[in-house]
Each structure stands twice: as structure tokens, then as C-alpha cells.
Amino acid sequence: MSKVRRATHAGTWYSDGREELGSQLEGWLSKAKETQKPARAIIAPHAGYYYCGACGAHAYRQVDPSVVKRVFVLGPSHHVRMSGCALSGCETYQTPVYDLTIDKEIYEKLYATGAFDTMSISTDEGEHSIEMHLPYIAKVMESRKNHFTIVPILVGSLSPEKEQQYGAILSSYLANPENLFVVSSDFCHWGKRFNYTFYDKSCGKIWQSIEALDKAGMTIIEKMDPAGFTTYLRDYQNTICGRHPIGVLLNAVNSLRQNGNGLKMDLKFLKYAQSSQCTSSSDSSVSYAAGALLLQ
């Protein structure tokens, strides 16, 4: 198996030119404000940068590279059905900015729990949910280049019980201020091509209904209520593709709360956007949100 995961979406989903990409990322970051810094975890989108690059910057702006030694990246599996979580079989992830090294020591500890499988190289390189965060991670961590590692985790279609299990496993890592968690998720995928056309006409136009639906879910996430988020998803079936990584994060927070460690926790969404504003049943859109979690 190849030990290097290629940047398979560079040149299509984002620029493969180092200078052009760096300039784009710097431009987006410069327009975002620092309001939740230093973030212990962020929630950010994973679509093409043309659509969501500006939104994601509001989450990455909250990262303080001086304190981070490891970056956990939790991305949903879009193409392979999994009931658990999987780790990469590679040692390095390529990006146009610079290459990122996987933390083998943490991987060994995660494997020791018996709860993690290994992705095939085709699954790894075919999945975009982790890759789309790597250039942003490389950029915001540039001052710490070669002095931090990444911990990519592909998250399957987990039951609430599995979300709780993985949350408990990862909670001790979340408690460590040297770790940053990046949770990869877009929000509502609306339209016939997504088989989702929920519309509450009392909200106004379709795009306003979508926004109200998403923000109802975001409010529950901000309350760090894993059971409430599960109920919301069951009731509305909102097509939040990173719902399971979000569920794992919420359960990790819940596990820390139950341990009574006295940490103050504050999770806030800082930006919301849609790829387009739907006004008719033939339209479609994807929503994006950027959030950050403080633990103090």
C-alpha cells in the first residue's frame, strides 16, 4: 500500500497552485474575525472552495497554532458504507501547501481500543471530506510546519450508541489543549437531486425555510446536546452529511461533562451560508456553517 495519500481533489475542488491557493486562503482568513480563540474544536464545511472557502475561514480563524501539536480530522464517509470509524493506512497526506504527517503514536492508541478499522487507499483517496480541510490546516499551522501531526478519522453511519462510544474514546484527547479537533460537515442538501425537499412555507421562501431548519439544528449543537441532535435529525431528516462526526464531538463533550472536570465549554456558530438561494422546487442548494468550541 502507498504510504502517501495524494491530493486527489486538488485542481478541481480547490487550486493546485501553491501560491494561488495560499493567496485565496489568506484572503478569506483576513476577512474573518477572532471571536472564539483558541478553539479546541471547529466545525467547518468540505465542499469546493468556490462554494464554501469563505465560510470555512470563520472557523479556521479561531485556531491558535502556537498551542496545537495534533489536529484530529473527523470526516464523514460519502462513498463507502461503514458502521464504525476507520484510520488511514498512509503515513503522509499531500497538500499543495506542504505535506502533513500522520501521528502513528496516536493511531496505535486508537487501534488498541479495538474500535477502529483501516481505510483502503482507494477509499482514502476517493473521499473528499477530510482532504478539503488539509490545505486550511496547513495554512493556519504554517508557523508550526513540521512541528505538528494530523489524526485523520473517517466516520461511518454510526448509531447513537456508537457515537457515544467513539465520543468517550476521543474525550481525553479533546480535553488536551495541545489537540485541535476539526469536524467536517456541510449542512442541508436541498432539492430533488438530494431527495430532500422539506419546505415550511411559514418561513417564507424555500431558502428561508432551509435556513430556519439548519439554524434549529445549529442551536441544538451549540447547546452541546447529543440526544437533542439525534432527535432533531430523526424528526426532520435534515441532510447534514457530517451529522455523525458532529455526534461524536457532542458525545465527547458530554463525556467530559460527566467526568466533572470543571471545564467551561462554549460552542458558537460564527457563519452560515448557502450555495444558492432556492425559490422553486426545481432549485437545489447546499448549506455551510462554521463553528468553534472553546474549552477553558
Closest by Cα among 75, 112, 71, 107 to 89: 107
CA 36 to chain centre: 17
Domain boundaries, the chain: 4-295
pLDDT tens-digit readout, 24-53: 999 999 999 999 999 999 999 999 999 999
Stretch (H or E) spanning 269: strand 265-274
CA 146 to chain centre: 23
Which DSSP category does 32 fall into?
A: S
pLDDT tens-digit readout, 77-136: 999 999 999 999 999 999 999 999 999 999 999 999 999 999 999 999 999 999 999 999
| pLDDT, average across residues 148-173 | 98
Q: Give the angle subtended at the CA of 175 by the CAs of 248 and 157, to the nearest 5°.
A: 10
Does residue 4 surpass a pLDDT of 70?
yes
CA distances for 4 relative to 25, 109, 120, 136, 173, angstroms:
24, 21, 12, 19, 25
pLDDT tens-digit readout, 174-212: 999 999 999 999 999 999 999 999 999 999 999 999 999
SS3 (DSSP) at 79: coil
Contact 77, 154 (CB under 8 A): yes
CA distances for 167 relative to 220, 221, 222, 250, angstroms:
17, 15, 17, 7
- Which superfamily does CATH assign the domain made up of 4-295 to? LigB-like (3.40.830.10)
Alpha-carbon radius of gyration of the chain: 18
- What rounded mean pLDDT belongs to the chain? 97
When pLDDT is cut at 50, 70 and 90, the band that residue 1 belongs to is very low
Task: Supply 228's cell numbers.
Answer: 437533542
Q: Is 246 buried (19+), middle (13-18) or exposed (0-12) by CB count in 10 A?
A: buried
Q: What residue spans of the chain are helical by DSSP H?
A: 18-30, 49-60, 104-111, 121-126, 134-140, 160-175, 206-222, 226-236, 243-258
Q: Which amino acid is at 272?
A: Y
